[in-house]
A = this chain, B = another copy of it.
Amino acid sequence: MTLKVYADRMSQPSRAVLIFCKLNGIEFEEIKVEISKRQQLSPEFQAINPLKKVPAIVDGRFKLFESHAILMYLTTAFPGVPDHWYPTDYSRRAKINSVLSWHHLNLRRGAATFVLHTVLAPFLGLPQKQQAAAEAEKILTSSLSTLEEVWLKGNGRFLLGGFQPSIADLSLVCEIMQLELLDEGDRGRILGPHEKVQRWIESTRNATKPHFDEVHNVLYELRRKIRATTELPSKM
């Protein structure tokens, strides 16, 4: 039975899982769960993930959610996935687990909350919390500094000094790609000072092409829509 991947390409962890499967030739069926249509709340999807979040997978009778856990599982359950994605060497694997643990309360919390309260909330007609955005910007900026000074230290182009990407590179870069939705001013102010981060995003994009841009296309499309909307007032 083919692996089923329940995903919304607008969700950064969904994109990481989809890109990973495509890159590694894992046969799968992509089942769209559109958050904007609240499809993650349907009883059918809740039977797969009671936490009502994408991505989730079903592999035969086995159900799994939380994107990091899914990525780890795919590296083991599907033969042929190159070792660099999640090395079997337990010291190298431990370092990747360390980055993935750090991700949640730092880069994810900062980036997702900032994007929500600056561009997504007004675009979707949701309440926009300025204080939450300001606090999120602090977490995001500090996370980008940690990426430069701690996680991207070393000779390689990837996290932990690696010469090839791991699931942590893919997961964290997909997170940062949400910043593409910001207006140019915000994006430049936040990402501008972090050149090493910018080079790493490009390295990850290059290492995972053409799937990276193909899966991110919906994000680029939404960026066009948001910019068209927010530029309207100045044209009036």
* A residues whose Cβ falls under 8 Å from a Cβ of B: 50-51, 62, 64-70, 72-73, 76-77, 90-91, 93-95, 97-98, 100-102, 104-105, 108-109, 146, 149-150
Contacts and interface: CB of A to CB of B under 8 A. Distances in A.
Given A51-B150, A98-B69, A91 B62 contact: yes
A90 to B, nearest CB: 4
Top 4 A-B pairs ranked by shortest CB distance? A104-B104, A69-B97, A66-B101, A69-B98
A201 B4 CA distance: 35
B108 A105 contact: yes
A101 B69 contact: yes
Given A50-B149, A90-B77, A149-B50, A64 B98 contact: yes
A149 B46 CA distance: 12
A94 B73 contact: yes
A64 B50 CA distance: 33
B95 A64 contact: yes
A66 B69 CA distance: 16
Contacts of A102: 51, 66
Contacts of A108: 105
Question: A66, A91, A101, A105: which has the most chain B beta carbons within 10 Å?
Answer: A101
Given A51-B146, A68-B97, 19 more contacts: A50-B149, A50-B150, A51-B102, A62-B94, A64-B98, A65-B98, A66-B102, A67-B101, A68-B101, A69-B97, A69-B100, A69-B101, A72-B97, A73-B90, A73-B91, A73-B97, A104-B105, A105-B105, A105-B108
A115 to B, nearest CB: 15
A64 B101 CA distance: 12
10 contacts: A51-B146, A66-B98, A66-B102, A67-B101, A68-B97, A69-B94, A69-B101, A72-B97, A77-B91, A105-B105
A84 B67 CA distance: 23
A116 to B, nearest CB: 14
A65 B67 CA distance: 21
A146 B50 CA distance: 9
